[in-house]
Structure 1
Amino acid sequence: MDLKLFDPKSVFLSNLIGQKGMLSFSTFNFKAASLNLSPFFIRSYKGASHEAACLSTSSPDGVSLVGKEQYGVETHTYRYDGSSTNFGSSILFREKRVLDAFDDEYGGVVVNPEKLPSDTDVFVSILRSSLSLWRTEGKKGIWLKLPVEKCDLVPIAIREGFQYHHAERGYVMMTYWIPDEPCMLPANASHQVGVGGFVMNDKNEVLVVQEKHCAPELAGLWKLPTGFILESEEIFSGAVREVKEETGIDTEFLEVIAFRHAHNVAFEKSDLFFICMLRPVSSDIKIDDLEVQAAKWMALREFVEQPLIKGDNMFKKIIDMCIARMGKRYCGLSVHKVVSKFDNRLSSLYYNVVDDQRLGCSSHDSCTST
């Protein structure tokens, strides 16, 4: 923080209300130890009266004490060296520069990434001031998002105690936990989500593909179309999209038949894989040359008799459930659109619906809203 001396003649105070040890204004309080002012240049001292109370500035453009490039300055704290309404010969003030940020709902702070300073020396100074202020205010977790164009600020944040949280294509997110207690900030996303589409036509043929890029032991295997869902994509729409991309077949989502949960699958992340039953609405295959070597409609019996399918207990169980569903002896999870009062968000809720009259699966096979 910078300490400076001001001549009181350079300060413009309009309609001052004087009390011993405190000067009160309409929007600012001056106390014996400190006073808070708007971060503008203040000019010309004109004395005091006992009528209106206000603080004025003659700066036409509101220039900040740190210049027009405000670097997200929020407040300035000033101290004066007196305990009465008479300032004396000088005012001692302390300039406190704070990163532009807003409070989150958990007692933490989220820094505005669009108002970060570019100069590394300025950044480290303001970052230290900000952490000091947030510590005195009892803040908890600090979220600092650094865009790729500000990547030179990353080592500075690390030296000041920030830790990596996660990274995306355009930024790195860093965090700082202030309290002297276990960190309660949520961890980075722990799972990747995949989908597979079980598509069978009225000839009891299953839509299968051979992947162009696969492990040697899986070469020649005919398998279900699979892939990862995209950011903000629904499970049911991701399954429909993957089947369309790999085979050119249009489908409708029916149900989630089952899902698998595995750990340490890729880069120490866990994996959720949803098997979805889809109804075909077209039949002409057009493969994706980038991912798929071949695709075809394959007789169900031929599909399940493949050695790798037949010898894999988990996949054999999945196929058994799909066959049972086709025979109406098993009910999967259909999707329903609902809004929760907890967050007022439209969400997809997957659950089992059974028709009590026939103890079979309900006819609600497509995505519905409730």
Structure 2
Amino acid sequence: MACVKFASRFSILCFATSRTLNLNSKIRPFSTVKQTFKAKGKLNDARFGISLIRRFWMSSSSPSQESSEKQTQQVERILDARDDDHGGVMVEMTNESMDAGVFVSLLRASLSHWRQQGKKGVWIKLPIELVNLVEPAVKEGFYYHHAEAKYIMLVHWLPSIANALPASASHRVGVGAFVVNKKNEVLVVQEKSGAFRGTGVWKFPTGVVDEGEDICDAAVREVKEEAGIDSKFVEILAFRQSHKSFFDKSDLFFVCMMQPLSFDIKPQEAEIEAAQWMPYEEYATQPFVQKHELLRYIADVCRTKKDGRYSGFSAVPTITSFSKKKSYLYLNKKDVDS
């Protein structure tokens, strides 16, 4: 560990290097010194992910220093963080390797600093390359919040009051596509895998909504992927919520009415055994459909919509003042416009 001493107001700056560095006695702004060390490869914020805090204390290292150094300025490294919107901080680590011991030292200093600031929740986003830092963080009081393919999110609640941090995402979203043509035929498929494999059951194209994908767009994509049919989203006819259905998460399933824009079926070879246009009543009277109450309800809703006696929820583009991003409000546009 090397220390850099300034000649006036006596600053001590500690870095992760074994060399002692000499500077002239002229006071240099810290930003200038920081850039100098960056240029020489001695300081790299991107690698260490650090911020710097200054604390003032009276020097007591030696009598000679006490007489010549009235005050020193100690600069400590802490983890680089940004404030969140709820009184906490977010740390996003880079994927550069870091020694667990160095990380623990930074983390402890950071937690002490954030407690003094009155921060609440501390979030640490660790890329998968830094999996070696998970155990040390857990030992310092962090716990798993959620994980994705390339990162783990750890969190720690600092105050002594009840933990108010939000839980991780609790639902998965799926879609089923009711695609009916002018001949009163519905698009149905048989699956090669899953619960319906080998059952002979004909069902609507279904699938899971991708991250960042709107429900209406997911329905269009699933129809294209499974049957090769181009389609246009019309309405959400109904939705179902279930629980403990996928790794103990809840599930939302939206039944979407679609207008076909093409009619030549090209089944997806990897997942679909067969696909066809089927007379609607033939689909609805399948023993499997009649046996399950949920499927009977969906079939009745689709029939009523097909006959023009039901209004679903159209997708209306809108922008909120919070995010300024386009999203969709699903509503009964027919009744609103009337």
CA drift at 1:89: 3.9
CA drift at 1:62: 3.1
Select the residue among 214, 218, 225 that pairs with 2:205. 225
Select the residue among 179, 186, 191 that pairs with 1:211. 191
Moved more, 218-227 or 108-117: 108-117
CA drift at 1:310: 1.3
Equivalence for 1:75: 53
Alignment of 1:79-90 (within 5 A): 79-81=57-59, 88-90=67-69
Secondary structure of 1:74's counterpart equals strand
Alignment of 1:184-195 (within 5 A): 184-195=164-175
**Which residue type is aligned with residue 63 of structure 1?**
F
CA drift at 1:60: 8.8
CA drift at 1:276: 0.2
4+ runs of 1 displaced by more than 6 Å? 35-42
The CA distance in 2 between the partners of 1:3 and 1:223, in whole Å, is: 69
Q: What is the CA deviation profile of residues 145-197 of structure 1, one whole-angstrom value per residue up to 9, with x for unaligned ones? A: 11111111111111111100111111111001101112211111100100000
CA drift at 1:43: 4.6
The alignment's TM-score, normalised by the length of structure 1, stands at 0.79
CA drift at 1:73: 3.4
Counterpart contact for 2:313–2:331, Cα < 8 Å? yes
Distance 1:185 1:244, change over 3 A: same
The CA distance in 2 between the partners of 1:120 and 1:3, in whole Å, is: 20
Equivalence for 1:150: 130
CA drift at 1:290: 1.0
Distance 1:280 1:59, change over 3 A: closer
Counterpart contact for 1:12–1:43, Cα < 8 Å? no
Q: What is the CA deviation profile of residues 260-290 of structure 1, one whole-angstrom value per residue up to 9, with x for unaligned ones? A: 0000001100000000000111111100111
Equivalence for 2:37: 63
Counterpart contact for 2:121–2:155, Cα < 8 Å? yes
Distance 1:236 1:56, change over 3 A: closer
Length, aligned pairs only: 322
Equivalence for 1:335: 315
Which protein has the larger Cα radius of gyration, Structure 1 or Structure 2? 1
CA drift at 1:117: 5.9
Alignment of 1:315-354 (within 5 A): 315-354=295-334
CA drift at 1:319: 1.3
Counterpart contact for 2:232–2:258, Cα < 8 Å? yes
Select the residue among 260, 263, 286 that pairs with 1:306. 286
Higher helix share: 2
Uncovered stretches (5+) of structure 2, i.e. residues with no partner: 16-20
Q: What is the CA deviation profile of residues 291-320 of structure 1, one whole-angstrom value per residue up to 9, with x for unaligned ones? A: 111111111111111101112222111111
Q: What is the CA deviation profile of residues 106-127 of structure 1, one whole-angstrom value per residue up to 9, with x for unaligned ones? A: 1111113128761111111011
Alignment of 1:38-49 (within 5 A): 43=23
Counterpart contact for 2:11–2:73, Cα < 8 Å? no
The CA distance in 1 between the partners of 2:268 and 2:197, in whole Å, is: 22
Uncovered stretches (5+) of structure 1, i.e. residues with no partner: 14-29, 47-53, 363-370
Distance 1:221 1:231, change over 3 A: same
Distance 1:68 1:209, change over 3 A: same
CA drift at 1:131: 0.5
